[in-house]
Amino acid sequence: MRNPLSAVEIPVVDRFLGDGYVRNVVVMTFGSLALLALFGALFPESVAGDLSGAVFTGGMVAATARISAPIVLAALGGIFAEKSGVINIGLEGLLIISAFTSIYVAYVLGDAGILTGGNAQFVGFFAGVLASVLLAFVFGVVCIEYKADQIIAGLAVWLIALGLAPFLSTVFFGSVNTPGVGNIGWQYSAALVAVGTVVAWWTLDHTAFGTHLKAAGENPRALDTVGVSVSKIRHAGVILSGVFAGAGGSLLALGVGRFGGSGETMVQGKGFIAIVVYLFGNYNPLGALGAGTLFASLDALQTRLQQLGYGIPSSLVETIPYVVVIIVLAFVGRTRIPSAAGDHYETEE
């Protein structure tokens, strides 16, 4: 008897298309860096020389690692959710709630003398992940069990976190900005991003769960036919989005050592950039890593260039991810949204 899941061939094709696409992006990125290094060496007094001096420094690497962590990890979480058929645009909210929770728990534990230094930060990190998972779980129940509109529910997650985190900070600390708890090194962010990317890639492409996850987003009826619960797989995908986004939000806050709740909070739209990143990466964890690192490096670069006297507005740099993804979608056409993403599914009895 033919396995119904054999009809879900598109994700396999996508893997090869995605790998070729990612390979092209990597070659172009490193080729550009090589040219920049060459022209910087040949013309040290030129703009290329300034750019080369700004890019190839330890400070630039550290800044890129810190900025890319919440973007890449949230993007990996978004891939799991959307591959399962659930569009989670509430990644921004998950980053916010995890960022605040990690700092709050680390501060309380340190202030009470229960834990000190890195131990308090370690527990705070996992507390932030847990808070994100709980919020993602509620989002999953509302969307999967009660079949709410996923876009509206995702916006609700963002708005709830956007209001709740600064409010709680004001209640507990008297300000939307929390006290400092000491920051962790950028190496932790870089290591966790690398590990998270490899785990996500392996899980999606080399495990039965990954096959089921992609089937839930491409052809849920085929998955249901072989006796696998579509709703359970989708719940797992949404919860994983909470795990990854929670890790990103915790790293963001602990990397700075405090939570800033002013305006859009310290997250500053990184959850929405994460959505752009996984679209740009064609739902490929390696592509998301490359795109997230690229956008983070541009953000870090504009800060460095301003220090060198180049008045590049940060608002202009912030538009780059969105402009790039529009160009990719319009002219390259590689990004392919899972067929059943955003669609509710009624299990056949």
Question: Cβ of 269: how many Cβ atoms within 10 Å?
Answer: 15
Contact 8, 27 (CB under 8 A): no
Query: Is 24 a domain residue?
Result: no
pTM for this entry: 0.88
Q: What is the pLDDT of residue 22?
A: 60
Whole-number Cα distances in Å, 98 to 76, 198, 321: 16, 22, 24
Residue 5 is given by DSSP the state G
Kindly write down the DSSP assignment for every residue of 37-67, as one continuous string: HHHHHH-TTSHHHHHHHHHSSHHHHHHHHHH
Query: Is 77 a domain residue?
Result: yes
Cα–Cα distance for residue pair 260/266, rounded to 1 Å? 5
**Neighbour-count burial for 165-193, b at 16+ CB within 10 Å, e otherwise:** bbebbeeebeebbbbebeebebebbbebb
Among 46-60, 86-100, 138-152, the least confident range: 46-60
Query: How many distinct structural domains can be found in the chain?
Result: 1
Q: What is the pLDDT of residue 247?
A: 98
Q: At 11, is the pLDDT very low, low, confident or very high (cuts 50, 70, 90)? A: very low
CATH number of the domain at 243, please.
Answer: 1.10.3470.10
**Neighbour-count burial for 92-104, b at 16+ CB within 10 Å, e otherwise:** bbbbbbbbbbbbb
- Token pair listed for 68: 């890319």
Query: Is 13 a domain residue?
Result: no
Contact 37, 52 (CB under 8 A): yes
Cα–Cα distance for residue pair 130/241, rounded to 1 Å? 12
Query: Is 346 a domain residue?
Result: no
Is the pLDDT assigned to residue 333 strictly greater than 70?
no
Q: What is the pLDDT of residue 12?
A: 43
Task: Determine what percent of the chain is predicted with pLDDT higher than 70.
Answer: 82
Contact 79, 204 (CB under 8 A): yes
Which amino acid appears at position 193 of this protein? V
Is the pLDDT assigned to residue 9 strictly greater than 50?
no
Query: Is 259 a domain residue?
Result: yes
Note the pLDDT tens digit of each residue in 30-87. Answer: 676 677 778 777 877 776 677 777 677 778 889 889 999 999 999 999 999 999 999 9
- Token pair listed for 206: 């080399």
- Tally the C-alpha atoms within 13 A of residue 285's C-alpha that lie toward its C-beta: 22
- Token pair listed for 5: 């899941």
Query: Is 342 a domain residue?
Result: no
Q: Is 257 exposed, middle or buried (0-12, 13-18, 19+ CB in 10 A)?
A: middle
Task: Determine what percent of the chain is predicted with pLDDT higher than 90.
Answer: 58
Note the pLDDT tens digit of each residue in 169-206. Answer: 999 999 999 999 989 999 999 999 999 999 999 999 99
Query: Is 328 a domain residue?
Result: yes
Query: Is 340 a domain residue?
Result: no
Contact 245, 69 (CB under 8 A): no
Note the pLDDT tens digit of each residue in 222-261. Answer: 999 999 999 999 999 999 999 999 999 999 999 999 999 9
More confident call, 47 vs 329: 47
Q: Which residues, 6+ apart, have CB-to-CB distance to 169 below 8 Å? A: 100, 104, 175, 176, 177, 178, 259, 261
Whole-number Cα distances in Å, 278 to 59, 75, 198, 289, 334: 26, 5, 15, 9, 12
Q: Which residues pair with 260 in a beta bridge?
A: 177
Is the pLDDT assigned to residue 13 strictly greater than 60?
no
Residues spanned by the domain of 257: 53-332
Contact 103, 254 (CB under 8 A): yes
